[in-house]
Amino acid sequence: MLRTQAAVVSALLLTASLTGCAYSQNHIEPGIADIEHGTPNPVVDGVGWVVGIPGKILLWDRRVDSHSISPQTERAIVEYINKNDLGETKVRLNQYDPLGEWRRLTGNKEVGAGWRYTLGVLTTAGYTILPGRVFGGDNYNPFTNTINIYSDHPAIALHEGGHAKDIRSRSLPGTYSAAYALPFVALYHEAKATGDVLNYLDAEGRPDELRDAYKILYPAYGTHVAGQFNNFIPPPFDFAVTAACVIPGHIAGRIQAARVDDYDYWPATTNPFENSPSLETGAAVVTPTPPLQGALESASMLTDDLD
């Protein structure tokens, strides 16, 4: 299986080098956000779309691992980065740049060298060997301070921004990030990021995006819950556990989305970005306690101790 994966990756990377799947820098407009795009490649992106079919089915959204990022999704993460003073965080939109990531790993002095040259090396090696440009999987790498986006869904992009905001606010970001690997601690991290997105969209007065966020982030949280149990459950029984966690997430997400009332927001607008502050604004957004955090409040004691 590993040999097959290696062969697939090698072939795809060779194809990429021959067909111009390099990377290009393209800022959406002046501001503090650092955004780079991967050059579109029909072959590689098509394979990535097919590889991402399980995720599309699980979260019931074709935008998951679509490998084609729309201006709406790009603008959403740009505004979030700018408003939360995360200008040093790199955002890669469907891009594969291993050399750039290794440089960022060595240059990220906010994380201690001990973490960067252990877990950071392993994480960056995984990015290099199994590129998300093919295998998907939106993520934030705290050791390089990079957000990697492959899904064309604003809430998913904002969720990864929420991880960046959470981790970079810690006095010991490396230790806090390493704690993610401990059993069930990841649920606290995920709740923090999810709650931040929901409160951010609510504070911004974007009811349509808030509804969309509930519908995707609640079942996505369910996958993380399932993942904690599936570490101890062999296939194919792990599929049943995943379904048991994701299906309630879909139901709860739709219930919460139905409760979002357009009349709660004023002034009303059909353009969710029309009344937003300028993209050049660097003021941080202060958000209240995430709604998902309540059930995991006790986990905060552990993570605070780690800092």
> How does pLDDT run across 35-51, given as a tens digit for each residue?
999 999 999 999 999 99
Question: Mean pLDDT, to the nearest integer, of 300-306?
Answer: 44
In tens, the pLDDT along 118-141 reads 999 999 999 999 999 999 999 999
- Measured CA to CA in angstroms, residue 42 lies from 35, 57, 70, 166 at distances of 21, 22, 16, 35
The closest alpha carbon to 213, from 173, 139, 272, belongs to 272
- What are the distances in angstroms from CA 130 to CA 6, 17, 68, 159, 288? 8, 16, 19, 22, 37
Judge whether residue 21 has pLDDT over 50.
no
> Structural domain boundaries of the chain?
23-306
pLDDT greater than 90 at residue 280: no
> Average pLDDT, stretch 158-173?
97
For residues 230 and 114, give the distance between their C-alpha atoms in angstroms, rounded to a whole number: 29
pLDDT of 268 above 70: no
Band of residue 186 on the pLDDT scale cut at 50, 70, 90: very high
Separation CA 67–CA 64 (nearest Å): 8
- The residue with greater pLDDT, 5 or 94, is 94
**7-11, 197-201, 247-251, 265-269: which has the minimum mean pLDDT?**
7-11
pLDDT digits (tens, 9 = 90+) for 54-99: 999 999 999 999 999 999 999 999 999 999 999 899 999 999 999 9
pLDDT digits (tens, 9 = 90+) for 194-226: 999 999 999 999 999 999 999 999 999 999 999
At residue 264, the pLDDT reads 58
